[in-house]
Amino acid sequence: MFYREAGQFKTTYAADQALLPIRQDRYAMLFILAIAFVGVPLFAGDYWLTAILIPFLVFSLAALGLNILTGYAGQLSLGSAAFMAVGAVAAYNFQLRIPGMPILLSFVLGGITAALVGMVFGLPSLRIKGFYLAVATLAAQFFIPWLVTKVGWFSNYSASGVISAQPIEILGFPFDTPTRKYLLVLGIVALLALLAKNMVRSAIGRAWMAVRDMDVAAEVIGIRILHTKLIAFAVSSFYCGVAGALYAFAYLGNVEPDGFNLDLSFRILFMVIIGGVGSILGSFLGAAFITLTPIFLEVALTELNAAFNLNLDPGVTSMAQLIVFGGLIIFFLIIEPHGLARLWQIAKEKLRLWPFPY
């Protein structure tokens, strides 16, 4: 009833190609942005901002990066966390070694460094496919943190190898409170998401999808495969790199190379798969799901334990969390292998007909 596009006519090609062709979607998007930019900072507490929303946004960005590579260009990668590490360490070093460096430029340069490294590790993708490629990207996952730990220069010879990120300041304005950090991260993520959305609708995005669907066929119709795949690796790593820089500067405040481990890469891949392969919205939904579910489970179990006086051992609740989380992932994949984004589509279809489904 509420979600119906009847009566909305498109009279120009431009209107037909708009980012959000349906009016309700446009309003919804404006509404969400308004809430994110105005409502949340006004009402959310520190806990929500620092412990949930900032990591959610950072992970969304990383998932977006991986989704470009895996979802659009069809190249499976298990090295996203390593590229995040490159972004974080590079941003730290740009900030440290070039006096008066604007922090945003450091983030961008961190992303570009990650993109270059990503291209190097993307080179084998021309020959290697599928799981062979996935396992091969693990080389990046293990090599990069090792390199960062071994070469003291990267961490400015800090005894423990842990870097503490510089404070964020733009044009003399310090981003030090949770609210300010949140707004900064939100701004960057919104901008990059918009960019990604447009990129996947452009020629390069279509080339990626052609390569994903069948690379031999794509080659036959004149798409330069190496070129296309390398751009996908570069763009994806750029997003991961920026996400890594934000993770270090706006979220944790320090960089421990061991923090960017295989677990994190898997989490990001989960976000993409659960959210929806080949969907920008899916990256956000997936990040929300993977960030929130464990916290939700833990709080729920603690509450249940207290409410019914179950007297469960903390060890038992920790295990139960792990089991439920694993089970949920399997459950989701079985019910909807195309991810949350697809569920949202179905929901929209239903809303369109509601309340008269026939």
Partner 1 sequence: MKKWKTTLIALLGLAGGLAMMLPVAAQQAGTQFMGILGYRVGPYGANGAAFFTGMIDYLSLVNERDGGINGVKLSWEECETEYNNAKGVECYERLKARTTTGPTAIHPMSTGITYGLIDKAPVDKIPLITLGYGRTDATDGRVFPWVFPILSNYWDAATGIVKFIGDKEGGADKLKGKKIVLLYHDSAYGKEPHPVLEAEAAKLGFELKLIPVPHPGNEQQSQWLQIRQYRPDWVILWGWGVMNATALSTAQKVGYPREKMVGNWWAGSEIDTEAAGPASEGYYAASLNLAGKDFQVVKDVEKFVYAKGKGGDPKLIGTVLWNRGLAAAMFTVEAVRAAQGKYGKKPVNGEQVRWGIENLNIEQKRLDQLGFGTMVPQLKITCADHGGSGLVRFQQWEGGKWKAVSDWMSGDRALIRKMVEESAAKYATEKGITPGCMKG
Partner 2 sequence: MSFFFEVLIGGLLAGVMYSLVALGFVLIYKASGVFNFAQGAMVFFAALTFVGLQEKFALPFWAAFGFALAAMVVLGILIERIVLRPLVNQPQITLFMATIGLAFFIEGLAQLIWGTNVRRLDIGIKDEPIAAVLERFDIVVSSFDLIAALVAGVLVTVLAVFFQVTRVGRALRAVADDHQAALAVGIPLKQIWAIVWSVAGFVALVAGLMWGARNGVQFALTFVALKALPVLILGGFESVLGAIVGGLIIGALEKVAEVYLGPYIGGGIEGWFAYVMALLFLLVRPEGLFGEKRIDRV
Q: Can residue 195 be called a binding residue for partner 2 (CB under 8 A)?
A: no
Chosen from partner 2, partner 1, none, partner binding at 346 (C-beta under 5 to 8 Å by type): partner 1
Q: Can residue 52 be called a binding residue for partner 1 (CB under 8 A)?
A: yes
- Residue whose pair of structure tokens reads 């943190």 in the numeric block: 145
Q: Can residue 194 be called a binding residue for partner 2 (CB under 8 A)?
A: no
Q: Can residue 215 be called a binding residue for partner 2 (CB under 8 A)?
A: yes
Which one, 27 or 296, has the nearer CB to partner 1?
296
Strand-pair partners of 60: none
Q: Which of 264, 301, 304, 271 is nearest to 286 (CA)?
A: 271
Which one, 159 or 216, has the nearer CB to partner 2?
216
User: Which residues in the 200-239 window bind partner 1 by CB under 8 A?
Assistant: none
Q: Can residue 295 be called a binding residue for partner 1 (CB under 8 A)?
A: yes
Q: Can residue 159 be called a binding residue for partner 1 (CB under 8 A)?
A: yes
DSSP 3-state assignment of 304? helix
Chosen from partner 2, partner 1, none, partner binding at 7 (C-beta under 5 to 8 Å by type): none
Q: CA-CA distance, 101 to 90, in Å (whole number)? A: 13
Q: Which of 225, 250, 124, 93 is nearest to 175 (CA)?
A: 250
Q: Can residue 161 be called a binding residue for partner 1 (CB under 8 A)?
A: yes
Q: CA-CA distance, 171 to 55, in Å (whole number)? A: 25
Strand-pair partners of 319: none
Contacts of 268 (CB under 8 A, 6+ apart): 59, 62, 63, 66, 80, 81, 240
Please give the structure tokens belonging to residue 200.
């996947």
| 155, 162 Cβ separation under 8 angstroms | yes
User: Which residues in the 309-348 window bind partner 2 by CB under 8 A?
Assistant: 315-316, 319-323, 325-330, 333-334, 337
Q: Which of 242, 219, 336 is nearest to 289 (CA)?
A: 336
Binding mask 307-346 for partner 1 (x = CB under 8 A): ------xxx-xxx-xx------------xx---x--x--x
Which one, 55 or 71, has the nearer CB to partner 1?
55
Chosen from partner 1, partner 2, none, partner binding at 270 (C-beta under 5 to 8 Å by type): partner 2
Instruction: Please provide the distance, in angstroms rounded to a whole number, between the alpha carbons at the two ends of the chain.
Output: 13
Q: Can residue 33 be called a binding residue for partner 2 (CB under 8 A)?
A: no
User: Which residues in the 108-147 window bind partner 2 by CB under 8 A?
Assistant: 124, 127-132, 135-136, 138-139, 142-143, 146
Q: What angle do CA 235, 213, 17 make, to 5 degrees?
A: 65
Residues that bind partner 2 (CB under 8 A): 70, 76, 124, 127-132, 135-136, 138-139, 142-143, 146, 150, 214-217, 220, 262, 266, 269-270, 273-274, 277, 315-316, 319-323, 325-330, 333-334, 337
